[in-house]
Amino acid sequence: MKTQILNRNESTEQAILQAGEMLKSGKTVAIPTETVYGLGANALDEKAVAKIFEAKGRPQDNPLIVHIESTDKLELYCDDIPDKAYKLAVSFWPGPLTMVLKRKSVIPSSVSAGLDTVAIRLPSNEYARRIIAASGCPIAAPSANTSGSPSPTKAEHVLHDLDGRIDAVFDGGDSEVGLESTVISLVGDVPRLLRPGAVTPEMLKEVLGEIIIDKAVTQLISSQEKVSSPGMKYRHYAPRAKMTLIRGSIDATERYIKENLCEKMAVLCFDGDEKLFSEYAFTVTYGAENDSKAQASRLFDALRLLDRDDVERIYARCPKSDGIGLAVLNRISKAAAFDIVDV
Ligand code: TXA
Ligand code: MG
């Protein structure tokens, strides 16, 4: 299959209409969102949804997020919507927040991997919203990477992973946030944070009061364990090389790395640290130490840069965990299979 690149050579308006038409007719189109690129298909069309799993090599038990263009569509796809959902929608939609609610049967069970719930999100990216509107259908879209690799924040990342396996990618430039949406489940008594993102626990608590942070956010979950969010148990974001997070000051980190030198080594560090390591290691930076937002937007590109044949061992500086830092820490910890050393 030849993957078309939309919005490079034609007018944006024309490209949006074409993406919408393709989605409506059952094709797969990767679309830009403010978090990461998503691999979209018509959520009401089971055959189209099956193509997503196929193209990504995604395990069948990992449910998809359904993207809508306006809050009033919630009632079409979800049952028993609690007030809390509307409160969250008013505060954070359109934006990087996904809510897990009871699924109506119009959404095929395969979208939700057989669960009786469905994850719903209203993205803020203009292209995403206009493409969804042009398609006239809800769009199921996981991140547009091959299963297991870092989520794509550029059209180039999508093509690197999926060229020839999907019908089109709409090039909308770099994703702003750079990490996937916050996922919160509203089906239990107390809202449960399943995946941290740009809508932080502090922001959620302000609207909801109490929330539970699922243990998969901060710990390694074995593949046998029962989890609230199936996606949390899979190995993720990982370059081929083994990666270890070093938590501590730059001095202690430098000392540790010097004591543990190895062949084909790389260091993932903060802006300005690179001069300490570049003489003996391939060095990649992912933002300033105190700038969690920059780290969020650069982490996945950095992990992709580290995924090369001449890198077999990676040491990474550990990010702070407040605000959006919790999401950065969650993703980088998963990339390191939660191998963290305190120095
Ligand atoms: O920012 C995002 O959320 C991006 C963009 C494209 O919107 N999408 C994304 O999708 O990250 P994906 O499939 O890579 O991650 C979806 C996560 C997975 O961890 C999945 O297990 C969880 O959401 N999820 C989806 N439906 C669920 C459900 N019904 N119950 C619990 N977790 C669910
Ligand atoms: Mg994903």
Query: Per-residue pLDDT for the chain (343 aa), expressed as one digit of tens each?
Result: 999 999 998 999 999 999 999 999 999 999 999 999 999 999 999 999 999 999 999 999 999 999 999 999 999 999 999 999 999 999 999 999 999 999 999 999 999 999 999 999 999 999 999 999 999 999 999 999 999 899 999 999 999 999 999 999 999 999 999 999 999 999 999 999 999 999 999 999 999 999 999 998 988 877 667 777 766 666 677 788 999 999 999 999 999 999 999 999 999 999 999 999 999 999 999 999 999 999 999 999 999 999 999 999 999 999 999 999 999 999 999 999 999 999 9
Which ligand approaches the C-alpha of residue 148 most closely? Answer: 2
Q: Is the CB of 44 under 6 A from ligand 1?
A: no
Q: Round to whole Å and give the CA distance between 113 and 110.
A: 5
Contacts 24+ apart (CB under 8 A), 321-326: 322/292, 323/200, 323/202, 323/292, 324/179, 324/196, 324/197, 324/198, 324/200, 324/292, 324/293, 324/296, 325/292, 325/295, 326/196, 326/200, 326/201, 326/217
Question: What's the pTM value of the predicted model, to 2 decimals?
Answer: 0.96
Q: Say how many Å lie between the CA of residue 151 and the centre of ligand 1.
A: 12
CA 230 to ligand 1: nearest atom: 21
Q: Round to whole Å and give the CA distance between 182 and 313.
A: 30
**How many helices, marked H, and strands, marked E, lie in the chain?**
11, 17
Q: Say how many Å lie between the CA of residue 216 and the centre of ligand 2.
A: 15
pLDDT of residue 203: 98
Scanning the chain, the segments in alpha helix (DSSP H) are 12-24, 46-56, 74-77, 83-92, 126-135, 155-162, 201-208, 250-259, 274-277, 292-305, 325-335
Residue 224: CB atoms within 10 Å: 6
Q: Say how many Å lie between the CA of residue 145 and the centre of ligand 2.
A: 7
Instruction: Give the bridge partners for 170, in sequence order.
Output: 6
Q: Round to whole Å and give the CA distance between 131 and 23.
A: 9
Which ligand approaches the C-alpha of residue 195 most closely? Answer: 1
CA 144 to ligand 1: nearest atom: 6
Question: In a mutational test of the pocket of ligand 1, which residue from 39, 56, 170, 180 has the highest number of ligand atoms less than 8 Å from its CB?
Answer: 180
The two three-digit tokens of residue 258, written as one number: 């010097």
Q: Round to whole Å and give the CA distance between 282 and 306.
A: 8
Which ligand approaches the C-alpha of residue 36 most closely? Answer: 1
Q: Say how many Å lie between the CA of residue 10 and the centre of ligand 1.
A: 31
Q: Round to whole Å and give the CA distance between 98 and 93.
A: 9
Q: Is 164 left (phi over 0), alpha (psi -120 to 50) or beta?
A: left
* Residues 217, 219, 220, 224, Cα dihedral to 10°: -80
pLDDT of residue 225: 72
Q: Is the CB of 100 under 6 A from ligand 1?
A: yes
Which ligand approaches the C-alpha of residue 35 most closely? Answer: 1
Classify 122 as helix, strand or coil.
coil
pLDDT of residue 234: 61
pLDDT of residue 238: 77
Q: Please say whether the beta carbons of 182 and 213 come within 8 A.
A: no
Q: Say how many Å lie between the CA of residue 63 and the centre of ligand 1.
A: 7
Burial class of 158 by CB neighbour count within 10 A (0 to 12, 13 to 18, 19+): buried
pLDDT of residue 118: 98
Q: Say how many Å lie between the CA of residue 38 and the centre of ligand 1.
A: 10
